[in-house]
Amino acid sequence: MNELLEIYIASLDYPNVSGAEHLELLNIRDQVEEIVNTFSTREKRELREEDKKMLINMATIYQEISRFIDLSNYRSEHGISPHQWWWYLDVLSFLPDDISSNVA
């Protein structure tokens, strides 16, 4: 399995870490996105499962990240597109549970 994907997977196993570590998680997800086209079918399936795990824990992740940065300002300053949905946890956390569980 791809090493970066393994790091992403391991990072999601600990949703109760600091906001700084969650910020690093979002940066890792950016790096994963850059190479996703090189992933095997199995790795792509694993990525989808891990993305669902992030969505399940998005309220916790967002709460911790918001202690360090304002995600809306961060997105504006860094030109982050909606395609990078993981940077929109502040927005996604307001979706009803039945919708957010089907986002990834």
pLDDT the model gives residue 93 = 79
Residue 22 CB burial class (10 angstroms; 0-12, 13-18, ≥19): buried
pLDDT digits (tens, 9 = 90+) for 61-81: 999 999 989 999 999 999 999
Domain borders along the chain are: 3-100
Of 43-52, 53-62, 68-77, 94-103, which range is least confident?
94-103
pTM: 0.88
pLDDT the model gives residue 102 = 55
Amino acid identity, residue 23? L
